[in-house]
Structure 1
Amino acid sequence: MQTILFLVCTIPFLTSNIIRMISWIPLLGRNGLINSGLQSAGIVDAPLEWLLYSDFAIVLAYVHLYTMFMVVPIFNCMMRIDRSQIEAAIDAGSNSVRILTDIIIPLCKSGIIIGSIFIFTLVMGDFITVKVMGGGIKANIAILIYNEISLLQYPAAAAGAVVLLVTVITMLVILLRLVDIRKEV
């Protein structure tokens, strides 16, 4: 059952990132399904402007696009958890919150860190999601670099790339100090 559910989660990845991202526009738009549904139900009087071309839309698209990059390493770690540890905790009288905080999360720490590395590096280099879901009015360092290259401002683009590189390497060093990745691969 776990494998079947895992495969069901991978079905959206059979399409392009751009197609999956653009698919949010008919849902979140001013005349989209969500606004139409809220207006017809009488919950709101006017369309919600913050659903599309906002920070909310960018975060929603990132979650949709990159969830599997976090789920896969955590799933891998959870598959290695010895079920007898959980059963022993239950027999010892632990509740589900205590089992989660004392057994499952510490044993999944490496999967969480590896997933965080994947997500962080992908998000730092992604400029299409911010450009499309932000409506061209939001920016990040990748868009800055893209714009500088488009304007043939190579020194400024190189400076932005160095800042991005140093930031990513610094975060990777910090995250890699938290887990020995050689044991996990």
Structure 2
Amino acid sequence: MPPPLAARLIRTGALSPAREPAPWGAPLPAPTPSASWGGAEHSAGLIRATGPFSATAAVALAATWSVTRVGGKGRAMNRLITALQASTSATCRPASPAEASEAVLAVRRAAWHAPVRTACLEESAAATFLLSTRRLSVVWCHGIAADPVRLHAWVQTVDGGLVAEPPSTRAYTPALTIGARHQHHP
């Protein structure tokens, strides 16, 4: 008589009994998903840095880099989380989808001229900081997708809408979200 777990697996068809031990069959082939570093699905090319948020976007990027690079490297994410929490706590109203998108795109335009790394983490944090200077809130998300394991950071509107992100971002499960959940006050 097999142990209870094995018996249950045999009953459900997840396990097949064998008279003698045998090697496992070869794994089934599957296409390897391409790696995503947050910006792989955005078109590349030199973008003219103009628009109402451009100068402020550069300052928001500089603030993001300062927060993550001043101090010990091992605590950079903790400092960024603390700064995001502080900035979102001072917001007055949710950003509209258009306002949020404008901020994200302004940060992306400014990032093309930056001499340092700007990927999804820096981009999304800078957009959140940028909006908070106008006292507008969004939800900053840091999530994970499996097989292969990938991390991504992005911005959502307060009602959960993706901001300037491809639909494939929905494959990520938010592990951390930061941002005020506002009640609309007249």
**Which structure has the greater CA radius of gyration?**
2
The TM-score, its normalising length taken from structure 2, stands at 0.24
Structure richer in helix, relative to its length: 1
The TM-score, its normalising length taken from structure 1, stands at 0.24
